[in-house]
Structure 1
C-alpha cells in the first residue's frame, strides 16, 4: 500500500494543499483562504478522502494535476499520446518531491514502462497570492512519443458553481458570459495560432452570484500566445476541475528519445473579496513578476498613433504639422503607423520589405524623428515582422519562407502570408532589418502588429508547427529587447488578438482592440481588467465618428474612457478645433497628474443597481487618494441614477471629493445637483462607501470623474 505525503503552500492570504502519493501524481485537495501554517494536513486529507461507490472502480480514480486514463480517470485526461501505438494509458509515479520554500512544490515523476518523465513545478507567490504552475514532459524511452495533450488540472469545490467565460470577435474582444457549471463539460478551444479575439485563455469560477465587491472566486489563465484548450468539467462522481493546456495539430509534438515539451504557465488566483480581489492579485503579479521593471519606474507617456489620422497617406508636411499639434496638447510619444516602407500604399503589397519608402519620406525618416525629438517627444514605429505580402520583393525572392503545406493552396488573410520564424534565416533577416532601423534612428517604441490567423502552419518538412512558431515569435522579441533594452514593444494583433501573460514577458503594452469606440471600449476594458492592469491597456481617443462603428461620442466621453488605461490619441490632431484641443489638453493634464495612481493602485470596479451605469476606479495602495469614473452605457431605467457606493477607501479617513463633468455629459436638468453646484465636499470614507453619493443627471453614453484625496 502506497503512502501519501501532504504539502502545504501558503502566501499572504491563501493556502494550497496537495496530496502526494508515492505511486501517483500530486493532487490539489485545498485552494482557498489561508490555513494556519501548522495545519494538520493529514487530517485535511482524511476529511477529504473519497469513498468507493457502487457501479464504479474499486478505488477512486485520482483527480491529480495531470489526470491519467491509465489510472481509471474517465474525464478529460491531462496526458494523451502514444509511441508506436503503445503507452497511450500510462501510470506516472512520483520519484522525488520537495518544497524548497513555503510557496513552492517540485515533483519529479516517471512511468517505468513507457520511460516518460514528468516534472511539475507549482509556486504560490507570497506577495500576491497568485499560483503559477507548469509541467515538463521528457521522453526517456526508446521510441518517439507522439504527444497529443498535456494539460494541468485544478480541482475546485462544489460551491464554485458559476462560471464566467470570455468570447468575442474582431473589434469586440473580451466579452463575458456567465453560466452555471454544466453537468458534464464546457470546452473553450482556439486554433487560430495566436491568442485570438474570440477565445481569450482565461476563466473564472465562483460561488453563484459573485460580484465585483463580494463573493468567493477562482481565476485561471493560460499564459500562451498560440493555440489552446480550456476544459471545465464535472465528473459523474461530483468532482469538478478546470484543465488548461496547449492545443496541438495531429503529429505536431513528436518527442524523440531525450526530447522534452514544456507546458505554458498556468497562472491563477483565489479571492474571497469578489472579482476586485481577484484582479488586484493578478495586477500585482503582472507588475512584479512579468513586466519589465522599467514599466513601473517610467510614467506611461501619452501616445499619438497616426493610423486613423492618415492611414497610408504619408505626407511630410502634414506629419510635421501633426507633430507640432500633438506636442501642443501634451503628447509624449509619436508613433508612425503602417505605410512608411516598401511599396505600401494599401494593404495589398510591401509587407516584408522593411526599407524606408523614400518616395514618401525623401532621404529617410530622419526629418520626422528629428521633429518628434525636438518637440520633446519619443518616436515610435509600426512593424509587422511575422508577415509578408505576395506582392513584395521578399516573397518574390523567398516564396519558401512562408508557413504552408506543400501541394495545397495557402489561404490569404489581409492579402498576406505568415513567415516561418522557426527558420534561422527568416528570423535573422527580420532581426537584421529591425536592428538596422533601430540603430539608424532614435526609435524608442515598436508597435508590433500581427494581422492574420495561422492556417496550414506547416514547416519546410510539411509538419504542423504552430507551437514552434509561437516560441520563435517569443525568441525574436527577446532578441530585439536584448539588443535594444531602451525600446518598448506593443503587442497588437488586429487589436486584441494576442493579449496574454505569455506575450507580456516580451512586450510592455497591448493594443486591446482595433475598436476605440468609447462605448465598446467601456465594456471591453472592464473585463480586460479582470486579468490585466491598466498601464498595459492601450486606450486611445478616437476620431468622431468612430472609424469602426460609425458612432459619434462627445470628446469628454472619449477622453474619460481612454484615461483608465495607457492613454493616447488616434486621430488627426491637426483637424481638431481649438476648443477640442483645449479640452484634450485638460484631460491629458488630468491623466499626467493621476497616472502614477492609475498605474500602481488597486483597480476597483463597482457594483451598480442599474446595468446602464458602469462605475470603476483606482485607489492608492495606502488609500490616500482615488480616482473613479461613472459612465452611462445607455439611457438609465429611472430618471435619477441610483446612489453610487464607492469601494476601497479608508472608512475612518475624510476625503476631499471633486467632480469633473464634461459639459456635454450633463443630462436634462433645470439646475446642477447640490453636490455638483458645491463642486464636491469633504466626506468620510465610511459615508462614501456605505451610503454612497447621488450622481448628477447624465446623458446616455457619457461619463464623469470623481477625484478623492484624504484630508489627514
Structure 2
C-alpha cells in the first residue's frame, strides 16, 4: 500500500519503496506540505511547521493572528491573492478583474490504479506495477473555482506523478493565467540546480547553479519544449555526487512551452515549480468547464544522481509509450540525409540499400526531398505527394525493391509545417499561423500549420495515410524544424488567443494518437531540428527521438550524457557518420564513432558505398555486436563513470547483474599520460566476471577498479564486455 490517510490528524502520506511524501490540512483549511525525502515511519510531521510570528507578512484571510502567513508556510498548491509572494502554482483572473483563489480543502478520493487525463498523455500502470492514486479537491468558495490535485504512487519504481484539473463551478467565467503541475516546498537545504541548456547541434548541456535568495527561472517560449532548455531537471544537495547524497528529479509530460523556477525564500525555504509556460498563456474557463494541466513526474534519491536517472529510465521504458516497440528490439537503420541531402533518385537509394545490407543494416530511411517540388529547404512543405519524376519510379515500386533486398523501408516527414512556396499555402493561406495584416516571421523559409484547427489535422491525416497505405512502411521520422513565433489563429476569438499555444500541442497529440493507433507496427522517431523536442510528451507516441543533428562523436559525448540524466538510452537516436564530420569538420576514428553511436538507437548516417573495404568490415562487425548487445544496452542500468577529465566513460549493467558493457572515450591526450583507474558499478560483489580471457571479482572491480591502457592517437576509445561466470 502506497497511500495512507489519517482523517483524524488530516494527514495524507504517500510511500514508495525508498521515499515518503506527506501533506496536511492546516487549521484554516489550506493544504500544507510537510515532507518529501528518504522513507520514514508513517507519523505526523506537522511539528516541522513554522509556528513563530510572521514578521510584516500578510495574515491569512479573515484572521488577525500574526502567525501562519502563507508567505512562510510550505504549501502544496500556492495560489494568487493569498499573501504568498513566492512563485505560485496558480494564477486566475476572476470576472471582476481580481486575481485571487483562496483554496481550501474540500474532499479527497481514492482512485483505482493510475489516474488518467482526457486530453494529454500520461504514464500508465502495467500489471507488474503496484500503483495507487488519490485526488484531493480544493475550492475557492466565493468564485467557485475548484482545483483537483492528482497523485499516483509507483511504489516499486520510487516515482510519484502529479497532475492538476481546474473546474469552474461558479456562474462567471474565469481566466487561468498560470497553472503549474508541481510545486514543492522544502523547509531548508543548501541546494544546487542541475539543468540542461543548449542550442541547435549542442543540446542538453549540463549546468549547475546554486539556488540562493532570489529566483532562478528557465523554460521555453518556442512553441516546443526546446533545445535551449529541457523541462527535466534535478535539485541536489551541494555535496551530492553520482552515487552519494540527496537529490530530487522532476520532468513534465509535455511538448510545448513550459516554465520552471527554483528559489530560496527569506527564511531559507526552497520552492520548486514546473508547469505550463506562462509568458502569454491565458485560458478562459466558462461555467462547468474543466482545464487539464500536463502530468509531472518526480523522484527522490539519497543514493546520488545515478539513482534518480535510473528511476526515470525504468518508468519511461515501461510505463509511457504504448506501441509495439515496448521492450522490443529496434532495427539498425541507414539514413540517406548526410549521404545525399536533397540530391538523390530512387536508383541511388536502392544502391545505398544494397551497400547497407552488406554491413547488416535492417532499414533504409528516405529523408527529406521525396515529395512535391522539394529540391531544397525553401519550398513544398505541405505538398505531401510523391515526386515520381525525381525518384524515377512510384513510391510503391521503390519500397518493394528495398524490401526485396531484405531491408525495411521508412520515410521522413515534416507534417506540422507549410512553405509559402507550396500548393497547399496557395490554396489555404488561412491554415498557417501568422499575425493579421503583417508579414510572417519565417524560420527555415517555412511557416507552421495551425494544428488547433480540426480541418487542418484532418487534411494532414488524410494525406499521410494515403502515403503510408501505399507502401509497406515500417518507420517514420517525424521532423519539426522551426520554433513557433506568430501566435495567432484566425480560428479563435481575440479573447481566446492566449489558449493557442496549448491548443496547438493538444492538436499535435490528437494527430499523433490517431496515426500511432492506426499504425501500431510502425516505428515513429521524433525529430525537431535534431533534439529540440526531446520530452516525455513526444516519447508517449514515439519511443525514440533523434538526439541531435550533430553526429560528431566527441560532441555527442556531452549531448548523450546530458540526455542520460533524464531519459534512457533506448530513446536516443544515435548514428555513425562520416569523418571529417559534416557539422564541425573533426576527424575521428571509425571505431570511436561506432562505440559512441552504440549508446543509442544505432544506425548509419553516411554513404556506405564510399566506405573503404576495411571500414565496411568494421561496420559489419559493429552492427553484429550492437545487435548482440542491444537488449543489454536498452534494458540495463546506466552508470556515468567518474574518470580523469580527459576521458568520458559509462557503463551498462543488466538487471540480473550477469552482463555489463563499459565504454571509454579519450577526449584529450597528453605526453606521458597518467594512468587512469575507473571503478565500476552495479555488479554482484561476490561474483566472478570474465573479460577478454581475464577474470575479476565484482567487489574488486567496484572498489579497486580497473586500469585502462594509456591512450594514443586521435580520440581513441575502447569497450569492455564483462560476463558473470558464477
Specify if TM > 0.5.
Answer: yes
Question: SS at 1:599's partner residue?
Answer: helix
Shift of 1:98: 3.2
Task: State whether structure 2 residue 654 is matched by structure 1 residue 620.
Answer: yes
Q: Say whether residues 1:107 and 2:119 are aligned partners.
A: no
The answer to whether the 8 A contact 1:9-1:104 is kept is no
Gap runs ≥5 in structure 2: 1-6, 59-65, 113-130
SS in 2 for 1:76: coil
Where does the alignment leave 5 or more consecutive residues of structure 1 unmatched? 659-679
1:130 and 2:159 matched: yes
| d(CA) in 2 for partners of 1:156, 1:573 | 55
Among residues 77, 93, 109, which one is paired with 2:104 in the alignment?
93
Look up the match of 1:520. Answer: 555
Matching of residue 687 in structure 1 with residue 700 in structure 2? yes
What SS is found at the alignment partner of 2:635?
coil
1:201/1:349 Cα in 2 relative to 1: closer, same or farther (>3 Å)? same
Kindly report which structure 2 residues correspond to 1:395-544, keeping only aligned pairs within 5 A, or say none: 395-460=425-490, 461=492, 463-464=497-498, 465-544=500-579
CA contact (8 A) 1:51 1:60 kept: no
Q: Distance in 2 between matches of 1:561 and 1:189?
A: 29
Is 1:263 aligned to 2:293, yes or no?
yes
Indicate the residue corresponding to 2:624 in structure 1: 589
1:18 corresponding residue in structure 2: 23
Partner of residue 77 from structure 1, selected from 88, 93, 100: 88
Judged with a 3 Å threshold, the aligned counterparts in structure 2 of structure 1 residues 86 and 63 are, in CA distance, closer, same or farther, namely farther
TM-score normalized by the length of structure 2: 0.92
2:386 is equivalent to residue 356 of structure 1: yes
**Which of 52, 62, 69 is the aligned partner of 1:60?**
69
CA distance in 2: counterparts of 1:157 and 1:307, whole angstroms: 52
CA distance in structure 2 between the partners assigned to 1:373 and 1:28 by the alignment = 58
Distance in 2 (CA, whole Å) between partners of 1:294 and 1:25 is 45
| 1:172 and 2:185 matched | no
Q: 1:641: how far off?
A: 3.5
**Mapped partners of 2:224, 2:169: distance in 1:** 31
1:242 match: 272
Deviation (angstroms), 1:445: 1.0
Query: What do the CA deviations read for 1:249-294 (whole angstroms, capped 9, x no partner)?
Result: 5463111222222111111111122111111100110012102253
Q: Secondary structure at the match of 1:622?
A: coil
Query: Structure 1 residue 209: deviation in Å?
Result: 2.9
Residue pair 1:137, 1:260 contacting (<8 A) in 2 also? yes
In structure 2, the partner of 1:702 is: 716
Pairwise CA distance, 1:100:
4.6
* Kept after mapping to 1: 8 A contact 2:89/2:178: yes
Shift of 1:160: 4.9
Q: How does 1:308-387 map to 2 (within 5 A)?
A: 308-387=338-417
Deviations for 1:627-663, whole angstroms, at most 9, x for unmatched residues?
01011122269712321111111110000023xxxxx
1:18 counterpart SS class: strand
- Residue 116 (structure 2) aligns with: none
C-alpha displacement at 1:401, in angstroms? 0.3
Instruction: Give the superposition deviation at 1:141.
Output: 2.0
Change beyond 3 A, Cα 1:157–1:657:
farther
- 1:51 counterpart = 2:56: no
Contact 1:22 1:94 in 2 (8 A): no
Aligned CA distance change for structure 1 residues 22 and 489 (closer, same or farther; 3 Å) = farther
Instruction: Work out whether residues 603 and 617 of structure 1, in 8 Å CA contact, stay in contact via their aligned partners in 2.
Output: yes
- 1:92, 1:110 within 8 Å by CA — same for their partners in 2? yes
> Using the alignment, how far apart are the partners of 1:206 and 1:379 within structure 2?
45
The answer to whether 1:148 aligns with 2:177 is yes
Aligned-pair Cα RMSD in Å = 1.8
Distance 1:157 1:120 in 2: 21
How many angstroms apart in 1 are the aligned matches of 2:323 and 2:650? Answer: 26
Aligned to 1:663: none
Q: 2:346, 2:684 → 1: CA distance?
A: 53
**Equivalent residues of 1:300, 1:535 under 8 A apart:** no
Structure 2: distance between partners of 1:397 and 1:50: 67
Q: Distance in 1 between matches of 2:647 and 2:354?
A: 38
Q: Distance in 1 between matches of 2:586 and 2:642?
A: 27
Query: Structure 2 matches for 1:196-211, cutoff 5 A?
Result: 196-211=226-241
- Give the drift of 1:85: 4.3
Aligned to 1:667: none
TM-score by length of 1: 0.93
Q: What is the SS of the residue equivalent to 2:76?
A: coil
CA contact (8 A) 2:323 2:516 kept: no
